[in-house]
Structure 1
Amino acid sequence: MKIMTDKEVKHFYNKSEWKCKREQILSRDFYECQDCRRRLEEASEKGIVLHGEDRTIRAANEVHHIKELKEYPELALVDENLISLCTQCHNIRHGRSPHRFVKRKKRLTEEKW
Structure 2
Amino acid sequence: MDDKEVKHFYNSKEWKHKRLEILQRDLFECQDCRKRLRDAQINRIRLRGDDKEIRRAVEVHHIKELKEHPECALEDDNLISLCTQCHNLRHGRNPKRFVRKKKLVSEEKW
User: Is TM (by shorter chain) over 0.5?
Assistant: yes
Paired position in structure 1 for 2:5: 8
Change (3 A) 1:97 1:20: same
Paired position in structure 2 for 1:65: 62
Match of 1:96 among 73, 93, 96: 93
* Structure 2 segments unaligned to the other structure (5+ residues): none
Paired position in structure 1 for 2:48: 51
**Identical pairs, percent:** 67
CA-to-aligned-CA distance 1:1-50 (integer Å, 9 cap, x gap): xxx00000000000000000000000000000000000000000000000
Say whether 1:77 aligns with 2:74. yes
* Structure 1 segments unaligned to the other structure (5+ residues): none
Change (3 A) 1:60 1:98: closer
Correspondence list, 1:18-33, <5 A: 18-33=15-30
CA RMSD of aligned residues (A): 1.8
**Do the aligned partners of 2:28 and 2:58 also contact (CA within 8 Å) in 1?**
yes
Q: How many residues align?
A: 107
